[in-house]
Structure formats: C-alpha cells, structure tokens
Amino acid sequence: MSQGGLAFRLSAYYAALFTAMGAHMPFWPLWLKTKGLGAAEIGLIMAATYLTKIVVGPAIGHVADHYGDRRRLMVLLAGCATLSWTLFTLADSFWAILAVTSLAVSLWSGIFPLGENLAMMTTQRHHIDYGRVRLWGSLTFIGSAIAVGSLLTHQPPAVLVWVVGGGLGLTALACLGLPASETAGRQHRPARLWPLLKNPLFLAFLAVTSLNTASHTVYYAFATIHWQGAGLDGDVIGLLWAEGVIAEVMLFAFSGRVVAKFGPGRLLAVACAAGIVRWLVLGTSTALPALIMVQGLHAATFGCAHLGAMHFIQRAIPTALSARAQGMLSAVAMGLAPAIMSPVAGRLYEAMAGQAFFIMVVLSAAGLALALWLRRKWDGHAIA
C-alpha cells in the first residue's frame, strides 16, 4: 500500500473516533445532569470511565503484543462498543447508568491504546508524519463539538446517546480499513514487562503524564456546566471547545518540526507549565474574552503532552513491549490518575465552583517538576 493510502486510512480512523469524542467529552455531563445526577454523582460516573482503563489497557496490550494483530481487536471492540452504547436509552438511575458506563466505556477505551500503537508503528515504518495523521481526529472533534453544541440549542440532551453511538459505528467501519500491524505472532513469547515497570525513567514518565491528565479533570467534567451557569449558550460553549482543538490542530500540523526541536521531555514540561497558566485563568474568570484567550493553551496542555508521550514510547520502548507500554500509559495516566481525581473534582466543584481549577494548578506544578527531572536524566534512547 502506498504511503498516501496508509495515511488516508489512519486519518479516517482518527476522524471517525473523534466524531464520537467530540459529542461525548464536552456534552455528556449535560446528559448525566438531565438524568437527575448531582455534581458528586457526575464525578463518580466520570471516574468510572477512567477506572475501566486500568484493567482494559494492560490486558488489551498483552493480547496485542502476544498475537500481533491490532486491527482485528479494534474492529471487535468498536463493534461491541456501538451495540452497548444503545443501552443508555434504558438507563435512568445512577446505578444503571454506572453499570452501562462501565461496560460501554471499557470496550471503547480499549480501542485507544491499540490505535495509537498501530499508528505510531505504521508512521515510523513508512516515514509518515504522525501529527499530520492525528490532526484529522482533532478536526473532526471540532466539527462534532460545534455541530452538537448547535444541535443542543434545539434538541434535548437525550439525542447525545444516538450521536455518540453513531460515531462509534463509524469507528468500527474505519477500523476495518486500517493496515495490518505486521508484528510478531503467537509463536513468540512476549518480552517481560516487569523490568520496564521498575525503571525510574518510565515511572517518572507515567507520573508526569498522570499529573497532567489529572489536572484536566475539573475542565473535562465541569467546564461546560460552569460556563452554562455563567450564561453562555450551547453555540458559544461548542466554539470554545473547538478553539482549543483548533490550536491543537495547528500544533499537530507542524509536529515533525516541533518534536525535532523540543524532544519528548521538553514537550511534557511545556504541557505542565501551560497548565499552570490555563487553570489559573479558568479559576479566576468566566468572561468570554478571558476564555477565548486561554483556550488556545489546549495546544500545549493536551497537544504537547500527547506528542511528548507518543514519541517517548516510540523512542524509549522496544517494539516487543510497545503495546503493553501504551496500555500502561492508558491504564495509569489516562485511567487511574483521573479516576482518583474525578470524584475529588466533583466534590471540589460542589464546594468551590470555578475555584476548583486552582487545585489543578498544584497538579500541573508537580508535573512540571518531574518533567524537568525526566528531561535531565533521559538520554533519548531505549530504556528497556
């Protein structure tokens, strides 16, 4: 397959996946709120979406490293996630919503580490700029967020179940077109993971990414509710989310140059430093000019962190361990850390409203300190 054909198929996968994410991430708390859930209960539901990654990421990574086939697993997970998402139409109580969330999100979240691992392997092997493939996910996130924000000015939040489910269905179709992973098959015994888990550099990497992700929990769970309470309508809120991702897209468009200039360690430090500024402003003001100004920092707090993490795994982790390392990143940084922080974020927002963002500043500052240590200690080569 040609380089252009591979890039197109990877781009189509990211576009489909982020269509679902653009509907889910900014607006799902509104659906939960219409079901009668309070801030603390929303925090617990959001925590469940992260907790599933603790088990799913390493388990899926082990299977992928052992059998070598990322694509087939991704098709299966996306298809089952699509079917399970429709169960939200039957869930009305907190416990029913929690049960469906645990099932549906566990299937959905299993797709992410496999897709990132497959994309990094393919782009590295065929000399494709990863950022320029990944930006199509960000672009569809923007379009989805704007469209759903507009839709919610005319339709009740109940429509979100079908919009997200449709996005997952598109993801299943896109996974069918992904390239083969071309890794070792079942005849090979997987390399041992334990030495990597004891490596101080890998542990520092997980800590930095965990703190950075955890610092976003108030933003992801309550920014839309907070801004709505300040009088902003759905269209404006959708555009604010879109602005952050537009800045992210601009970063990804030049990711080859950015990564070459800064390197993974410095990118992680930039992400945490930008978090300090971003959360200070969001905790201080809901004025639209301030929000417009600070949303551009999403390119740093998320974009730089993502590029730094992906390229750290590419450079520091051997291929035989790459799916499990990606799974550990998903489990710890994208699962355990925000799962612990999300219920706390719910309590903080309940007690402090927008000032809860100030607690996120502390997490970003701790992440910055560790990122600077990692940058000094890691020489840029494989660590296991």
Q: Which amino acid is at 130?
A: Y
Q: Residue 32 and residue 161: Cα distance in Å, rounded?
A: 11
Higher-confidence position of 235 and 61: 235
Residue 320 pLDDT greater than 80, yes or no: no
Q: Which pLDDT does position 101 carry in this prediction?
A: 92
Q: Is the pLDDT of residue 187 over 50?
A: no
Instruction: State the alpha helices, DSSP H only, in 254-304.
Output: 255-284, 288-295, 298
- The predicted structure's pLDDT at residue 297: 95
Average pLDDT over every residue of 336-349? 84
Winning range, highest mean pLDDT, from 28-32, 119-123, 291-295, 329-333: 291-295
So what's the pLDDT on residue 185?
A: 47
pLDDT digits (tens, 9 = 90+) for 72-102: 889 999 999 999 999 999 998 999 999 999 9
CB hemisphere CA count around 271 (13 angstroms):
32
pLDDT band, residue 357 (cuts 50/70/90): very high
d(CA 111, CA 91): 24
pLDDT reported for residue 349: 87
Q: For the chain, give the mean pLDDT.
A: 87
Q: CA neighbours within 13 Å on the CB side: how many for 222? A: 35
User: CB-based contacts of 313: which residues, under 8 Å, 6+ apart?
Assistant: 120, 322, 325, 326, 329
Residue 326's Cβ-count burial label (10 Å; 0-12, 13-18, 19+) is buried
* Separation CA 213–CA 244 (nearest Å): 16
Residues 364-373: pLDDT tens digits?
A: 999 999 999 9
Give the chain's end-to-end CA distance (angstroms, integer): 32
Indicate whether 304 pLDDT > 70. Answer: yes
CA 191 to chain centre: 27
Q: What is the CA radius of gyration of the chain?
A: 19
**pLDDT class of 245 with cuts at 50, 70, 90:** confident
Q: Find, among 21, 287, 362, 367, the residue nearest to 163 by Cα.
A: 21
Q: Which amino acid is at 169?
A: G
CB 335 within 8 A of CB 53: yes
Please give the residue that has the higher pLDDT: either 308 or 182.
308
So what's the pLDDT on residue 188? 53
Contact 9, 132 (CB under 8 A): no
Three-class SS of residue 15? helix
- Residue 236's pLDDT band (boundaries 50, 70, 90)? confident
| Residue 191's pLDDT band (cuts 50, 70, 90) | low
Question: Length of the chain in residues, anyone?
Answer: 384
Query: Mean pLDDT: which of 54-68, 182-196, 210-224, 312-326 is highest?
Result: 210-224
Task: Please compute the mean of the pLDDT values over residues 300-314 and round it to a whole number.
Answer: 92
Higher pLDDT, 281 or 124: 281
* 42-67 b/e (C-beta count within 10 Å ≥ 16 → b): bbbbbbbbbbbbbebbbebbebbbbb
Supply the angle between the helices 255-284 and 200-214 in degrees, to the nearest 10. Answer: 50
Strands (E), the chain: none
Contact in structure between 355 and 230 (CB atoms under 8 Å): no
Whole-angstrom distance, CA of residue 283 vs CA of residue 145? 23
pLDDT of residue 125: 82
How far, in Å, CA of 40 to CA of 347, rounded?
A: 6
Residue predicted with more confidence, 353 or 274: 274
Cα(14)–Cα(119) distance, rounded to whole angstroms?
10
Per-residue pLDDT at 384: 65
How far is 88 from 240, CA to CA, in rounded Å? Answer: 27
Higher pLDDT, 219 or 335: 219
- Over residues 245-262, the mean pLDDT reads 88
Quote the pLDDT of residue 221.
Answer: 80
If one compares 53 and 178, the residue with the highest pLDDT of the two is: 178
Q: What is the pLDDT of residue 341?
A: 86
